[in-house]
A and B are shown apart, each in its own frame.
Chain A
Amino acid sequence: MSNSTAKLHEKYKQKIRLQQIQIRFSQLSIIVLFFAIWEVSGRMRWIDPLLFSMPSRVWALFIDKLQDGTLLTHTSVTLFETIAGFVLGTVIGTVIAAILWWSPFLSRVLDPYLVVLNSMPKIALGPILIVGLGPGYSSIIAMGALISVIITTLVVYNAFKNVDENYVKVVQTFGGTKQQAFHAVILPATIPTIISTLKVNVGLSWVGVIVGEFLVSRQGLGYMIIYGFQVFNFNLVILSLLVIAVIATLMYQGVELLERKLRKTY
């Protein structure tokens, strides 16, 4: 009896494994096929390689830019700006949310302003930021942060408000102050929400930083895109896009890993 169960279990595990291999294989085929069709279409002149480039050309440029070190510089600049942007956006948003939680009066006063700021496309503030903070890191980081700060404030403030009052009551019955209630209850109870806004903010910060680099046009992957566009070097544009795709994915995965670690304790 147990022998046959073990056999069936083994069979079941094999089936799952097989399915996983099939999925991985299909995923890999799609990307290989995509690049192959792209390459062939370019070579056969089905599409204009001047506009759409070709994987081989992008690869050659990649090696070239890697060797002269410019790709590394631009990538690290953008990476730094994005991380700074989303960390600042999340931290400042959470701090504002805490202030609003602290003072119901203030939260009621500021409510219409938050609605307006949230509806407003923050990208439109780009030129003002550049004038105000100068065309450099600071205005680009500010863009990356600004784009996520209001939505973080709203989401985290809502999470603060939705913490079950009875948990706060537990601390209050021990004579706890509002500050103690915040540290002991409100903040730890909302860590999962804060982490999930972090995930959203990674994506938002990329938008802010790339647009910021478009506008400032000095350094970074956004600059590479706009420069490639202006001199009509689409190999450069596509190379930048691919690098962004890879790094943005890695960053998102990193935050997800952090989330899984924290979920275990919270």
Chain B
Amino acid sequence: MSIVNIKNVDKIFFSQEAATTALKNISLSVETGEFISLIGPSGCGKTTLLSLIAGLIDPTYGEITIEGQKIVRPSAKTGYMLQQDYLFPWLTIEQNITIGLKTMKKLNEETRAYALSLLAKMGLEDKANDLPSQLSGGMRQRVALVRMLATSPKLLLLDEPFSALDYQTKLKLEDLVSFTIKDQKKTAILVTHDIGEAIAMSDRIILMSARPGRIQNIFQVPESLRVLSPFQARNDRNYNLLFQQIWKELESLEQQHS
């Protein structure tokens, strides 16, 4: 069963000078429990598409539904993770991970305990009373992950969440996020510019082309890679084959435009 349905979506941004078509005729459905990645050259509208699914902005044409419900504003079914952690520096870690629950007026003893149990799973239970400034970049992004998961969303929208981290932390966090998402049986959509990350983490990769953003191609990640953790997948033979394939297509896309 598909959880997300995107039907003929166009997004046009207007300014005084011009009307820019950011997305053109996007149709896509995401199955429950699936992990998909959106990749493409810069300006292909992948973050725009994510914002549309999140309900942060409205499509100009077309319709997006989550579990059959039309999205017009952010819903409790989705969680969003940004490029940087954006933890509030004036709140403790515990206050930061419960901010979503508080905003949704769902904060009670039970939900708080759940949020703290997630924090413990990330190995950060002793940091609950610390301020974000006392934590490293990787720890902070793990806290951001807990903040998103604390409200129990079914669909996770990840907007390049690993791009601001150093390589080693990024690899470790990919494994952790991948494990957590599979463990909790969530559906996830990841925006990334890293082909390797897309292959290592997802079940399906959507390649987008730029100006206007369209779906160029869809790659199915072979079963042999999907069962592996992202770190292991990076060392698999099939990983390189798929990498070359996507790389070539991305190259040809960029040449068309230059």
Chain A residues in the interface with B (C-beta under 8 A): 164, 166-167, 169-176, 180, 184-185, 188-189, 191, 265-266
Task: Give the residue name and chain of the A residue nearest to B102 (CB).
Answer: A184
Give the chain B neighbours of A174 by CB distance below 8 A. Answer: 74, 99-100, 103-104, 151
Chain B residues in the interface with A (C-beta under 8 A): 54, 56, 73-76, 78-80, 82, 84, 86, 88-91, 99-100, 102-104, 147, 151
Is A189 a contact of B74 with CB atoms below 8 Å?
no
Give the chain A neighbours of B147 by CB distance below 8 A. Answer: 170
Is A173 a contact of B78 with CB atoms below 8 Å?
yes
Question: A95–B91 Cα gap in the complex (Å)?
Answer: 23
Contact of A170 among B89, B99, B104 (CB under 8 A): B99
Instruction: Give 27 pairs: A residue, B residue, CB < 8 Å, sorted on A.
Output: A164-B86, A166-B84, A166-B86, A167-B86, A169-B86, A170-B82, A170-B86, A170-B88, A170-B99, A171-B99, A173-B54, A173-B79, A173-B80, A173-B100, A174-B100, A174-B104, A174-B151, A175-B73, A175-B75, A175-B76, A176-B103, A180-B103, A184-B103, A188-B90, A189-B90, A266-B89, A266-B90
- CB of B81, distance to nearest CB on chain A (Å): 9
Residues A175 and B104 in contact in the complex (CB < 8 Å), given A166-B82, A170-B86:
yes
Give the chain B neighbours of A169 by CB distance below 8 A. Answer: 56, 80, 82, 86
Report whether over half of chain A's contact residues are helix, strand or loop; otherwise say mixed. helix
Is B104 a contact of A265 with CB atoms below 8 Å?
no
Extra contacts, 7 of them, besides A166-B86, A170-B88, A173-B100 (Cβ < 8 A), are A173-B80, A175-B103, A175-B104, A184-B99, A185-B88, A188-B91, A191-B90
Give the chain A neighbours of B89 by CB distance below 8 A. Answer: 266
Give the chain A neighbours of B102 by CB distance below 8 A. Answer: 184
Report whether over half of chain B's contact residues are helix, strand or loop; otherwise say mixed. loop
- CB of A100, distance to nearest CB on chain B (Å): 23
- CB of A203, distance to nearest CB on chain B (Å): 27
Give the chain A neighbours of B99 by CB distance below 8 A. Answer: 170-171, 174, 184
Give the chain A neighbours of B88 by CB distance below 8 A. Answer: 167, 170, 184-185, 188-189
Contact of B103 among A164, A171, A188, A266 (CB under 8 A): A171
Give the chain A neighbours of B104 by CB distance below 8 A. Answer: 174-175
Task: Give the residue name and chain of the B residue nearest to A170 (CB).
Answer: B86
Task: Give the residue name and chain of the A residue nearest to B81 (CB).
Answer: A173
Task: Give the residue name and chain of the B residue nearest to A173 (CB).
Answer: B80
